[in-house]
Structure 1
Amino acid sequence: MQIEHLTLFIRIAVTHNISMAGNELGLSPAVASAHINKLESTLGVRLIHRTTRKVSLTEEGKAFLPHAEDVIASVEAARASVGAGSFLPRGTLRVAAPASFGRMHLVPIMADFLAQFPDLKVDLKLSDTIVDLVEGGFDIAIRNSELKDSTLIARKLAPDHRILCASPAYITQYGQPSSPHDLTNHKCISLIGLENWGFHTDEGQTVIKTTGNFRTDNGEAIRDACINGLGITINSKWSVYKHLKSGNLVQVLPDYPLVSNTAIWALYPSSRLLAPKVRAFIDYLAQHFVNASQWED
């Protein structure tokens, strides 16, 4: 039983793709398949189910996985104790991220990140649709949301405080609401399907069903519509902080915080035997966003 075979098996368990796992380790699809066949032959059991779309672990594979991880973790710890086992990030890193956050805060840092890791390539999918990491073949997903129960590993990167905003022109024309209940008399811009806004008040949580004449499915579009005077909206501070500083937008109802537990998260399938390219990207993001005061001030 070879260490390389165990390493490949663990990556297949994460990626659900023999070719992708083999590519991470510098193996051709044929060689990767041969390695898994050899491992299964050595053990005398089938470890994975192969289909045309993906592979999945058999019951025997699921039982074997934690033991394989323990072996590799022990080997890596032994190598590290003598300063060996350095693995440089390489290959293609596939990242999924929300459209607005990705354009505003990920794309601008890619030049520096790739300069630090010249053997890496990045495929960045920008979409506000929640993607399945395994089905989509992604290494990591960035999400700005409330973290739900998940089998994925999550690392918090930065806060995602959300506030109400309006343009000065809108406030001049329609006035400043003094309480959440006043919003029922205002034009509100909302994400499609998220018209109910929750607030913390002295009486407890209050939910207001908002109305307006413009909705959209994109955060930047909501922000820009707000700047152009279409109404009051909810937006993340990372999206509007420059416009608040310039005076294009003003905060509305600052004494009534929104009910929100959102943050910026990095999600990935497993923390054990994490591919060097994934670890490098997560560590880079964590360092970059360690001080999010640029949008929190």
Structure 2
Amino acid sequence: MNIEHLRLFVRLTATRNISVAGQELGLSPAVASTHISKLEQSLGVRLVHRTTRKVSMTEEGKAFLPHAEEVLSSVEAARAAVGGGSAIPTGTLRVAAPASFGRMHLMPALKTFLIDYPELAVDFRFSDTIVDLVEGGFDIAIRNAELEDSTLIARKLAPDTRRVYASPDYLAKHGEPSTPEDLLKHECINLMGLESWVFETPTGKQTIKTKGTLRTDNGEVVRDACANGLGIAFSSTWCAYQHVKRGELVPILRDFPLVSGTAIWAVYPTSRLLAPKVRAFIDYFAAHFGSTPYWDKQ
């Protein structure tokens, strides 16, 4: 059984595209297709269904995948034990990320990343929709929600601290709430589906059902409306920190922190055959953000 055929098959299951998988390994579409056919012939089963648009695994392919990954992982471990192998990230890295976070915190750091890894190209998809990594052919996704899919591996890149804010203009006109209950007397701006704010108090968790005339599905709109004096809102510190620096937003209710289990995660389909390009991306941004990211250093 040819190791390169196995390597191509594993990448094909991630990208769902023979041309893309072949390109990552320096193969033309025709050669990549031939390699998969030879692997299927050697096993005597069909591993993938091929159409003009995408590739999907057969039941035999799904059953074969973990064994192929295990063989490749063992080979890489053996080569590493004697100093062999190449860990240089190459090819195209396909990344899905939330639009606001990607624009504000991934793109500004990308130049240095690409300088460090000149043989690597990056395809970004910025969207607040949770994508299917395998179906979409993504190598990695950045998420700031709890991980529900147990088939994915997650590594925390940074905390996602959330605070309650108001503009100086709003506070001058309406006063500053001193307790969570005071929010019931104020105009609050909400993200759709997150109208109930949970606070840590000396007597335990307290949930406040906030209300207001503005709701939206976009965090940046909530932040900007708050900065424009339309009401009180909560926001992630990574989203609001620049407005705080400029004095456009003021953190309030600091003695009553919001209860939130969110963080910035890097997720990927498997850890048994982590491609060098994926590891490089995760390590780079984990170091770039650090244990206390720059947006929380104020």
Settle same-fold status: TM greater than 0.5: yes
Match of 1:252 in 2: 252
Q: Cα deviations across residues 226-251 of structure 1 (Å, max 9, x unaligned)? A: 11111111111112223334432211
My pick for the range that moved more, 241-250 or 162-171, is: 241-250
My pick for the range that moved more, 152-161 or 191-200, is: 191-200
Question: For 2:123 and 2:237, how far apart are their aligned partners in 1?
Answer: 27
1:33 aligned partner, one-letter code: S
Q: Is the 1:147–1:262 contact (alpha carbons within 8 Å) kept by the matching residues of 2?
A: no
2:251 aligned partner, one-letter code: Q
- Counting only pairs closer than 5 Å after superposition, residues 57-136 of structure 1 correspond to structure 2 as 57-136=57-136
Question: For 2:67 and 2:193, how far apart are their aligned partners in 1?
Answer: 45
Match of 1:178 in 2: 178
Q: Is the 2:14–2:138 contact (alpha carbons within 8 Å) kept by the matching residues of 1?
A: no
Q: Does 1:37 align with 2:56?
A: no
Q: Cα deviations across residues 265-287 of structure 1 (Å, max 9, x unaligned)? A: 01111212222222211111111
Could you say what secondary structure the match of 1:84 adopts? coil
1:142 aligned partner, one-letter code: I
User: Compared with structure 1, are the counterparts of its residues 136 and 69 closer, same or farther at alpha carbon in structure 2 (3 Å cutoff)?
Assistant: closer
Cα distance, 1:52 vs structure 2 = 4.0
2:242 aligned partner, one-letter code: K
Q: Cα deviations across residues 117-165 of structure 1 (Å, max 9, x unaligned)? A: 1122222222222222223222211111233343111110000010100
Q: Is the 2:189–2:222 contact (alpha carbons within 8 Å) kept by the matching residues of 1?
A: yes
Q: Is the 1:15–1:137 contact (alpha carbons within 8 Å) kept by the matching residues of 2?
A: yes
Question: For 1:39 and 1:186, how far apart are their aligned partners in 2?
Answer: 66
Q: Is the 2:95–2:141 contact (alpha carbons within 8 Å) kept by the matching residues of 1?
A: yes
Match of 2:266 in 1: 266
Q: Is the 1:14–1:270 contact (alpha carbons within 8 Å) kept by the matching residues of 2?
A: no
Q: Is the 2:49–2:57 contact (alpha carbons within 8 Å) kept by the matching residues of 1?
A: yes
Match of 1:156 in 2: 156
**Identity across aligned pairs (percent)?**
68
Q: Is the 2:70–2:272 contact (alpha carbons within 8 Å) kept by the matching residues of 1?
A: no
Structure 2, unpaired ranges of 5+: none
1:140 aligned partner, one-letter code: I
What is the aligned-residue RMSD (CA, Å)?
1.7
Could you say what secondary structure the match of 2:154 adopts? strand
Match of 2:191 in 1: 191
Q: Cα deviations across residues 196-242 of structure 1 (Å, max 9, x unaligned)? A: 22222344332222222222222222212111111111111112223
1:86 aligned partner, one-letter code: S
Question: For 1:204 and 1:148, how far apart are their aligned partners in 2?
Answer: 27
My pick for the range that moved more, 102-111 or 246-255, is: 246-255
Could you say what secondary structure the match of 2:158 adopts? strand
User: Compared with structure 1, are the counterparts of its residues 231 and 284 closer, same or farther at alpha carbon in structure 2 (3 Å cutoff)?
Assistant: same
1:113 aligned partner, one-letter code: F
Match of 1:13 in 2: 13
Match of 1:54 in 2: 54
Q: Cα deviations across residues 71-113 of structure 1 (Å, max 9, x unaligned)? A: 2112111211222211422222221111111111111011101
My pick for the range that moved more, 107-116 or 18-27, is: 18-27
Cα distance, 1:264 vs structure 2 = 0.3
1:216 aligned partner, one-letter code: T
2:187 aligned partner, one-letter code: K
My pick for the range that moved more, 165-174 or 216-225, is: 216-225
My pick for the range that moved more, 169-178 or 118-127, is: 118-127
User: Compared with structure 1, are the counterparts of its residues 43 and 149 closer, same or farther at alpha carbon in structure 2 (3 Å cutoff)?
Assistant: closer
Match of 2:140 in 1: 140
Match of 1:239 in 2: 239
My pick for the range that moved more, 243-252 or 90-99, is: 243-252
Q: Is the 2:19–2:29 contact (alpha carbons within 8 Å) kept by the matching residues of 1?
A: yes
- Counting only pairs closer than 5 Å after superposition, residues 265-284 of structure 1 correspond to structure 2 as 265-284=265-284
User: Compared with structure 1, are the counterparts of its residues 148 and 87 closer, same or farther at alpha carbon in structure 2 (3 Å cutoff)?
Assistant: same
2:46 aligned partner, one-letter code: R
Q: Is the 1:146–1:260 contact (alpha carbons within 8 Å) kept by the matching residues of 2?
A: no
Could you say what secondary structure the match of 1:145 adopts? coil
Q: TM-score, normalised by structure 1?
A: 0.93
